[in-house]
């Protein structure tokens, strides 16, 4: 910690020195007059339709000149660096990498690119469904932060294309950076399962963004909803102040706002965080008393979602599972009785998607709130995965669908 802050200060200091001493105002004007800049590569020209590049600080004194780093197209020669390999100025463009044997820019081999290739191949044979969308990849060839199901919802996904927390109605122009839920997912995957207590990390909102209030132990501060970067200097210590004193506090995002929120002892918590804390204390006490507690059987049953809730299913007093929203309010009449396959498979994904949509064209859900494997729209039907995404072609002949079962209507 201390070392980190020292390094950080050092970095700040260096930057400050650089800009203050070497690059005072007007320096570049004089410098360039005496040492004219080389022309930047034409690749960055706005009107260069065949090539592209990125503007970067130039590797010259005080970055006085303009510098264009060319981004090579697929098939262009490139260098992987190292002695005797020749040099090229630019590098391979988005989604491309320099092949180590042929030394030309080739498409990166990634899961997302494979998914695109698969889509394109089927598209060429006219075998893509009308509700299917081409997978979108980022510059590194990873999946974009979210994926949208036409006229249903958009949800967050990991770099590998795995669905993660965060979902909103698909309004056609959805921006979902999902930075919070992606970070949460990464932390959950990175942390060893032998850590004795579940790590309560960031709090996200239902769209995968950061909750503007983040707490560490009992100290809370404000962050930017998209980036998660701390904003302002306000800190509320819950031992002394109520959370409502924090300027970024939004009652709407406080899913379990207690009626006595402005009374001591101040809290900013959820039932799930509370039960984690309760068990943590229990384990701590048991260890103190000399018992060897088995963490794994103790904790696997509580993993709070990134929004601090237990999940989207709830087991009633009579053992029936139902679908709930983030405020623990029941959604629809979806339910499943214990000791049935419907109970074990219940994920409520369709129930939740439906509840986010106001349109009349809602997906068809099973009685347990899962997506019905066969969805129909405007006279044709198709199979969907557990997230409601079309798989394969649509048809008017339901019997021919690979996911068809006699009882398809009643699931
Ligand atoms: C675009 O960039 C390439 C590569 O540097 C260059 O050869 C070409 O002349 C440029 N085209 C235009 C229209 O500037
Ligand atoms: C606030 O209400 C909760 C639930 O009703 C109760 O457990 C808690 O003790 C109350 N706190 C104060 C300070 O009254
Ligand atoms: C269990 O409770 C749910 C609602 O809470 C109800 O719909 C259902 O009929 C009950 N099941 C049984 C077997 O009593």
Tell me, what's the pLDDT at 6?
Answer: 33
Tell me, what's the pLDDT at 300?
Answer: 55
**What are 25's two structure tokens?**
């105002």
d(CA 13, CA 137): 38
Q: For residue 335, which ligand has an atom nearest its CA? A: 3
- Mean pLDDT across the stretch 11-27? 53
d(CA 166, CA 171): 15
Report the separation in Å between the CA atom of 320 and the middle of ligand 3, taken as the mean of its atom positions: 6
Residue 344 backbone dihedrals phi, psi, to 5 degrees:
-65, -35
Between 276 and 95, the higher pLDDT residue: 95
Minimal-distance CA residue to ligand 2 atom 9:
265
A 10 A CB-CB count for 262 gives 12
Statement: residue 261 has pLDDT above 80: yes
Is residue 316 lining ligand 3, measured as CB closer than 6 Å? yes
Statement: residue 407 has pLDDT above 90: no
Residue 119 neighbours by CB under 8 Å, 6+ apart = 128, 132, 134, 135
Statement: residue 338 has pLDDT above 80: yes
Strands 91-92 and 66-72: parallel
Tell me, what's the pLDDT at 11?
Answer: 35
pLDDT in tens, 148-171: 999 999 999 999 999 999 999 999
Residue to mutate, 335, 336, 342, ligand 3, most ligand atoms under 8 Å from C-beta: 335
Tell me, what's the pLDDT at 174?
Answer: 87
Minimal-distance CA residue to ligand 3 atom 14:
318
Tell me, what's the pLDDT at 21?
Answer: 47
Cα-based torsion angle of the residue sequence 398, 402, 403, 408 in order, rounded to the nearest 10 degrees? 30
- State the pLDDT confidence band at 108, using cuts at 50, 70 and 90: very high
Tell me, what's the pLDDT at 299?
Answer: 52
Is residue 262 lining ligand 2, measured as CB closer than 6 Å? no
pTM higher than 0.85: no
């Amino acid at each position: 910690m201390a070392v980190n802050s020292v390094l950080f200060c050092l970095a700040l200091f260096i930057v400050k020195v650089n800009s203050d001493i070497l690059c005072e105002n007007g320096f570049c004007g004089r410098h360039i007059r005496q040492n004219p800049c080389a022309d930047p590569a034409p690749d960055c020209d706005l009107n260069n339709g065949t090539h592209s590049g990125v503007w970067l600080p130039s590797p010259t004194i005080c970055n006085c000149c303009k510098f264009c780093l060319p981004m090579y197209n697929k098939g262009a020669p490139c260098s992987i660096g190292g002695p005797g390999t020749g040099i090229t100025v630019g590098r391979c463009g988005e989604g491309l990498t320099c092949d180590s044997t042929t030394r030309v820019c080739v498409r990166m081999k990634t899961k997302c690119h494979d998914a695109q290739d698969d889509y394109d191949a089927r598209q060429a044979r006219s075998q893509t469904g009308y509700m299917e969308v081409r997978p979108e990849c980022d510059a590194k060839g990873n999946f974009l932060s979210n994926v949208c199901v036409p006229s249903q919802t958009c949800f967050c996904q990991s770099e590998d294309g795995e669905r993660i927390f965060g979902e909103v109605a698909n309004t056609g122009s959805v921006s979902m950076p999902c930075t919070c839920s992606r970070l949460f997912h990464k932390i959950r995957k990175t942390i060893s399962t032998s850590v004795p207590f579940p790590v309560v990390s960031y709090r996200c909102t239902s769209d995968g963004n950061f909750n503007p209030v983040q707490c560490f132990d009992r100290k809370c501060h404000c962050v930017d909803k998209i980036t998660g970067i701390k904003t302002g200097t306000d800190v509320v210590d819950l031992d002394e102040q109520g959370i409502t004193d924090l300027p970024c506090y939004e009652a709407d995002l406080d899913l379990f706002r207690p009626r006595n929120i402005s009374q001591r002892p101040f809290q900013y918590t959820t039932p799930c965080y509370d039960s984690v804390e309760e068990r943590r204390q229990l384990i701590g006490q048991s260890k103190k008393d000399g018992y060897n507690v088995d963490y794994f059987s103790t904790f696997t049953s509580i993993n709070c979602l990134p929004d601090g809730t237990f999940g989207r299913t709830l087991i009633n007093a009579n053992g029936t599972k139902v679908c709930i929203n983030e405020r623990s309010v029941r959604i629809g009449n979806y339910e499943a009785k214990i000791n049935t396959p419907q109970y074990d498979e219940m994920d409520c994904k369709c129930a939740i998607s439906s509840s986010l949509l106001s349109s009349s064209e809602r997906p068809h859900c099973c009685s347990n709130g899962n997506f019905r494997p066969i969805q129909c729209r405007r006279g044709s039907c198709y199979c969907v995965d557990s997230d409601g995404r079309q798989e394969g072609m649509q048809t008017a002949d339901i019997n021919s669908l690979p996911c068809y079962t006699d009882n398809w209507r009643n699931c």
